Amino acid sequence: MANDKKLVASITSRDEDFAQWYTDVVKKAELTGYTSVKGCMVIKPAGYAIWENIQKELDARFKETGVDNVYLPMLIPESLLQKEKDHVEGFAPEVAWVTEGGLNKLQEKMCIRPTSETLFCDLYAKDIQSYRDLPKVYNQWCSVLRWEKTTRPFLRSREFLWQEGHTAHATAEEAEARTVQMLNVYADFCEEVLAIPVVRGQKTDKEKFAGAVSTYTIESLMHDGKALQSGTSHNFGDGFAQAFGIQFTDKDNQLKYVHQTSWGMTTRMIGAIIMVHGDDDGLVLPPRIAPTQCVVIPIRQKAEGVLDKANEITAALRASGLRVKLDDSDRSPGWKFSEQEMRGFPMRIELGPKDLEAGNCVLVRRDTREKLVVPIEKAAEESAKLLQVIQKDMLERAKQFRAEHTYEAEDYETFKETIDQKPGFVKAFWCEDVACEDKIKEDTTATSRCIPFGEEAIVPEGAKCVCCGKPAKKMVYWGKAY
Amino acid sequence: MANDKKLVASITSRDEDFAQWYTDVVKKAELTGYTSVKGCMVIKPAGYAIWENIQKELDARFKETGVDNVYLPMLIPESLLQKEKDHVEGFAPEVAWVTEGGLNKLQEKMCIRPTSETLFCDLYAKDIQSYRDLPKVYNQWCSVLRWEKTTRPFLRSREFLWQEGHTAHATAEEAEARTVQMLNVYADFCEEVLAIPVVRGQKTDKEKFAGAVSTYTIESLMHDGKALQSGTSHNFGDGFAQAFGIQFTDKDNQLKYVHQTSWGMTTRMIGAIIMVHGDDDGLVLPPRIAPTQCVVIPIRQKAEGVLDKANEITAALRASGLRVKLDDSDRSPGWKFSEQEMRGFPMRIELGPKDLEAGNCVLVRRDTREKLVVPIEKAAEESAKLLQVIQKDMLERAKQFRAEHTYEAEDYETFKETIDQKPGFVKAFWCEDVACEDKIKEDTTATSRCIPFGEEAIVPEGAKCVCCGKPAKKMVYWGKAY
């Protein structure tokens, strides 16, 4: 099999050069392709099929909470982008401008949306008059453009796909509840579907979204110990409403500003799947998101009965709702095994003449390589069970990895040494002064990832800022990040 | 009820002012909204939900034929757009140009895709080396931009949503077969799902796509007698392959150019649904595409048992797979009836205290207003049946309308008079000279819609061009078009 592997491709070892390993996996698993358009990627069938499953799962969860999908223009007139001061400062440096259309120079230039707060505000200002028009809970699936200087497939590219939810509410309480609700939708989705554990928390003022009162985030940990911001949910208070004049007549007949939120998740999550679960043989896809969950590989497929039975097994798995395919091409079984591993299909079923004689087939897990011999007539049932076990085990392993790579630091020397020597999260207290955040970033390149929710956020009496030693006000997750 | 109607909105009569009627329906049914971005539209929840159903139905049909979904960049560098001569001539005048990005002037300007042939060719030139890499049958769902001067919601807007399929094949025969196959997918989808009958045929050279060898089209007829091009499928031969250098080594070890196709359908089809099926009370949605197929409306809902039973009926319909909602708001039943009619939900179920006492409920069709009294316990079963009948009847009515509005003309006077006096298709022979097409367009504003497939395309001996009287070579459908 070692020899067969070269038929597929050899990839850089993950522990040797993580960045090169990532690039190799993305390329060899045919998730993306290069293009003549600098900083942009082509998402190929194997990559796009993962995104389709992400969309399907997330969209169903959104709709359960009452979200309506809409579509707004991809262009934003300059004057509209400039209406909210913090927002334009945050985004103006990284947008692309359309200045000519239909052979003429435009009177007012327009940018390609980097995000659509301003367009939703423009819509809400027209459509909201009364408390009866509230809440508005809209979402759109689209692509956005940000003029990044250095790019990497899925993790940072000039154009990327995402969903952006934008809501308007009658009260501050309702907006806050929606902000938290959507963060939890993201967190549950990551853990249940992608098998990626996340830390839920709040961004510091320095790291929050341009124009937001507060930004909530979920942070996940990659295999190289770097953090990845995996989804954010923003509470805007009534700041945008004031800038755009979004007012409604409430039940008490008073004219009031609405309270707004926005929240987004992107194709970056495909990068997270790769970096959390992948190994030296390639991609490892969690069963719930894998476009192909199982591949059936006949051994000596010209031997009597083998291909027929492989077809039967495939049909049985498909009938029980699994996403399965049969590889009856003329390539060698070893080549097919390596390909299944490279592409990250969660399991394969091997079936040869000897298995057939014994009435068995062999289930092989992608994540652990464990083999399970089962009676052919139980192939579908056992595969369904096995996929559930794989899904659960992948989450457990990722949780364990994160636990083993989450550290604490009480003094600055330990903090700096940990960041430098031990890739992972570092939990440490902070005085809430942006100067300490700046210093930490300058000294270590680490940033504050989030102030976690719940018990672990409690700051005990006498706790001191890890950087300046002054009284601490917050417990913070720190880390180097993508 | 006449009085209640005003609670919803009054719309212009369809036969009085079709254009205004269309605008009213789009607005009052809340399908689109206006925006500060000139020539672009906001697709609101009621409109976007129709598009989601179109996507779901079409995408499943695509995948059955082996289509893989992908995503390519939204920007096209100028040099890439210019590689194929006819193509750039066709599209350059109507694109929007990005000239600045990230605060800098770009070295090479890029247009926002008006269509993505050039990007797919760029990808295929990199990814296709051998016959083993063929065929490529890719599709993407995205938005495109064309700098239109006059715009109307769904029918013509600067930005619109669509899918664009792009394929590459080893032989001319295979490319031709795929071009025809996808046209038939579109035609079947229109007739089976949208209840819109279409004429399948070929575009004349004057009307074909920029860069294509041949363009196939499906043409539908709107209620005002104007034609709507509803989907097109193009065979490019090896023209793009030569311009972009897309070559492969075939089984015979010869280096050959691939043969390509592309095919697309857009949000314009929502405009077609409105203009084929709508009436003076608003939208009429075919059941198979309607986001809400049935609304349950309780009458005197505070009377004992009414709301409970309405809930039961709603649950029963939902359990049987129908898209149903209950309107238990405090608005009057008359208001709810008008709203159901305006929004085009295919049927409603009325249930009041008297019905309850008799153990019945009332099914009301949107298309014919017919009422059907059925036992409450049969509501789900009868609704499912009724929706099938409505779907079938809507297609039949549209077919009959088209038959009644399709004319023939043998001489130019009759032709001009028919085009002028009788809105609809006119079938007439043509010599295949573009000069006659130009003259017809100048004299009547009508254009050649297509040269139909099948028996009706046969040109009998002695047939003459309706315009110049020279021997005819083709039978053509003519009409004024959107």
User: For residue range B201-231, what is the model confidence (pLDDT) as tens digits?
Assistant: 999 999 999 889 999 999 999 999 999 999 9
Instruction: For residue A412, give every residue at least 6 positions away whose Cβ sits within 8 Å of its Cβ, in sequence order, or none.
Output: A466, A467
Per residue in B17-55, pLDDT tens? 999 999 999 999 999 998 889 899 999 999 999 999 999
Residue spans of alpha helices (H) in B66-197: 78-81, 85-91, 117-127, 172-192
Q: How high does pLDDT run on average in chain B?
A: 96
Of B71, B75, B143, the CB nearest to A48: B71
Q: What phi-psi label fits residue B225: left (phi over 0), alpha (psi between -120 and 50 degrees) or beta?
A: left
B100 touches chain A (CB under 8 A): yes
Per residue in A140-168, pLDDT tens? 999 999 999 889 999 999 999 999 999 99
A33 touches chain B (CB under 8 A): yes
Helix axes A18-28, A268-277, angle to 10 degrees: 110
How many beta carbons lie within 10 A of that of residue A17, not counting itself? 12
**Which pair of structure tokens corresponds to residue B461?**
């001996």
Q: How far apart are CA B58 and CA A258, in angstroms?
A: 39
Which run of H or E residues covers position B95? none
| Residue B321, beta-bridge partner list | none
Which run of H or E residues covers position A260? strand A259-266
B145 touches chain A (CB under 8 A): yes
Q: How far apart are CA B214 and CA B212, in angstroms?
A: 5
DSSP symbols for B349-412: EEE-HHHHHHTEEEEEETTT--EEEEEGGGHHHHHHHHHHHHHHHHHHHHHHHHHHTEEE-SSH
DSSP state of B213: S
DSSP symbols for A60-97: HHHHHTT-EE-B--SEEEHHHHTTSHHHHHHHGGG-EE
- What does the pLDDT read at residue B122? 96
Per residue in A33-58, pLDDT tens? 988 898 999 999 999 999 999 999 99
Instruction: Indicate if ipTM > 0.90.
Output: yes
Cβ atoms A216, A451 nearer than 8 A:
no
Query: Span B391-407, mean pLDDT?
Result: 98
Under DSSP, is residue A286 helix (H, G, I), strand (E, B) or coil?
coil
Q: Is the pLDDT of residue B2 over 50?
A: no
Q: Which 209-248 residues of chain B touch chain A by CB within 8 A?
A: none
Of A35, A40, A52, the CB nearest to B69: A52
Per residue in B429-467, pLDDT tens? 999 999 999 999 999 999 999 999 999 999 999 999 999
- The helix/strand count (H/E) of chain B reads as 15, 23
The CA–CA distances, whole Å, from B142 to A59, A138, B2, B152, B162 equal: 17, 19, 43, 20, 6
Read off the pTM: 0.96
Residue contact A97–B102, C-beta within 8 A: no
Under DSSP, is residue B443 helix (H, G, I), strand (E, B) or coil?
helix
Q: How far apart are CA B202 and CA B187, in angstroms?
A: 13
Which run of H or E residues covers position A155? none
| Residue A232, beta-bridge partner list | A217, A264
Residue contact A101–B147, C-beta within 8 A: yes
- What does the pLDDT read at residue A266? 98
Place of tokens 């680490």: A446
Instruction: For residue B209, give every residue at least 6 positions away whose Cβ sits within 8 Å of its Cβ, in sequence order, or none.
Output: B90, B203, B215, B232, B234, B262
The CA–CA distances, whole Å, from B16 to B9, B222, B273, B365, B481 equal: 17, 15, 20, 25, 19
Q: Which chain A residues are within 8 Å of B73, Cβ to Cβ?
A: 35, 37, 40-42, 159
Cβ atoms B265, B186 nearer than 8 A:
yes
DSSP state of B113: P
Question: Which has more pLDDT, B410 or B92?
Answer: B410
The one-letter amino acid at B375 = P
Cβ atoms A450, A478 nearer than 8 A:
no
DSSP symbols for A53-66: HHHHHHHHHHHHTT
Cβ atoms B186, B230 nearer than 8 A:
yes
How many beta carbons lie within 10 A of that of residue B469, not counting itself? 12
| Residue B215, beta-bridge partner list | B234
Q: Which chain B residues are within 8 Å of A71, Cβ to Cβ?
A: 42-43, 48, 51, 143, 161
Residue contact B35–A72, C-beta within 8 A: yes
What is the nearest CA distance from A428 to chain B, expressed in angstroms?
36
- What does the pLDDT read at residue B85? 86
Q: How far apart are CA B361 and CA B328, in angstroms?
A: 16
Per residue in A412-433, pLDDT tens? 999 999 999 999 999 999 999 9
Q: How far apart are CA B2 and CA B10, in angstroms?
A: 10
- What does the pLDDT read at residue A283? 98
What is the nearest CA distance from B348 to chain A, expressed in angstroms?
22
Query: Span A266-278, mean pLDDT?
Result: 98
Q: Which chain B residues are within 8 Å of A73, Cβ to Cβ?
A: 35, 37, 40-42, 159
- What does the pLDDT read at residue A92? 87
First vs last C-alpha separation in chain A = 35
- Of B94, B105, B242, whose CA–CA distance to B157 is shortest? B94
Q: Is the pLDDT of residue A6 over 60?
A: no
Which contacts qualify for A196-200: CB closer than 8 Å, 24 or more apart?
A: A196/A220, A196/A230, A196/A272, A196/A273, A196/A276, A196/A395, A196/A398, A197/A221, A197/A395, A197/A398, A197/A399, A197/A402, A198/A230, A198/A231, A199/A425, A199/A449, A199/A450, A199/A452, A199/A477, A200/A450, A200/A452, A200/A453
- Given the DSSP bridges, would you call strands A136-145 and B75-77 parallel, antiparallel or unpaired? unpaired
- Of A320, A309, A287, A465, whose CA–CA distance to A387 is shortest? A287
DSSP state of A131: G
What is the nearest CA distance from B159 to chain A, expressed in angstroms?
7
Q: How high does pLDDT run on average in chain A?
A: 96
Q: Which of B27, B31, B36 to mutate to test the interface with A (most CBs of A within 10 A)?
A: B36
Place of tokens 């959104």: A62
Cβ atoms B25, B283 nearer than 8 A:
yes
Q: Is the pLDDT of residue B7 over 50?
A: no
Q: How far apart are CA B478 and CA B443, in angstroms?
A: 13
**Which pair of structure tokens corresponds to residue B4?**
């209640």
Query: Span A342-357, mean pLDDT?
Result: 97
Query: Span B266-287, mean pLDDT?
Result: 98
Of A33, A68, A98, the CB nearest to B112: A98
Query: Span A78-94, mean pLDDT?
Result: 90
The CA–CA distances, whole Å, from B181 to A194, A227, B191, B455 equal: 37, 48, 15, 19
Cβ atoms B23, B32 nearer than 8 A:
no
Residue contact B102–A112, C-beta within 8 A: no
- What does the pLDDT read at residue A9? 59
Under DSSP, is residue B423 helix (H, G, I), strand (E, B) or coil?
coil
The one-letter amino acid at A87 = H
Cβ atoms A140, A172 nearer than 8 A:
no
Length of chain A: 482
Of A73, A142, A149, the CB nearest to B40: A73
Taking CB atoms and an 8 Å cut-off, how many pairs form between chains A and B? 150
Q: Is the pLDDT of residue A63 over 60?
A: yes
Residue contact A147–B102, C-beta within 8 A: yes
Q: Which 155-174 residues of chain A touch chain B by CB within 8 A?
A: 159, 161
Cβ atoms A49, A43 nearer than 8 A:
no
Q: Which chain B residues are within 8 Å of A122, Cβ to Cβ?
A: 35-36
DSSP symbols for B230-284: EEEEEEEETHHHHHHT-EEE-TTS-EEE-EEEEEEEETHHHHHHHHHH-BTTB--
The one-letter amino acid at B313 = I
What is the nearest CA distance from B407 to chain A, expressed in angstroms?
38
Cβ atoms A315, A263 nearer than 8 A:
no
Q: How far apart are CA A308 and CA A445, in angstroms?
A: 58
Query: Span B94-104, mean pLDDT?
Result: 94
Residue contact B94–A102, C-beta within 8 A: yes
Under DSSP, is residue B327 helix (H, G, I), strand (E, B) or coil?
coil
Kindly report whether the peptide bond that precedes residue B135 is cis, defined as omega within 30 degrees of 0: yes
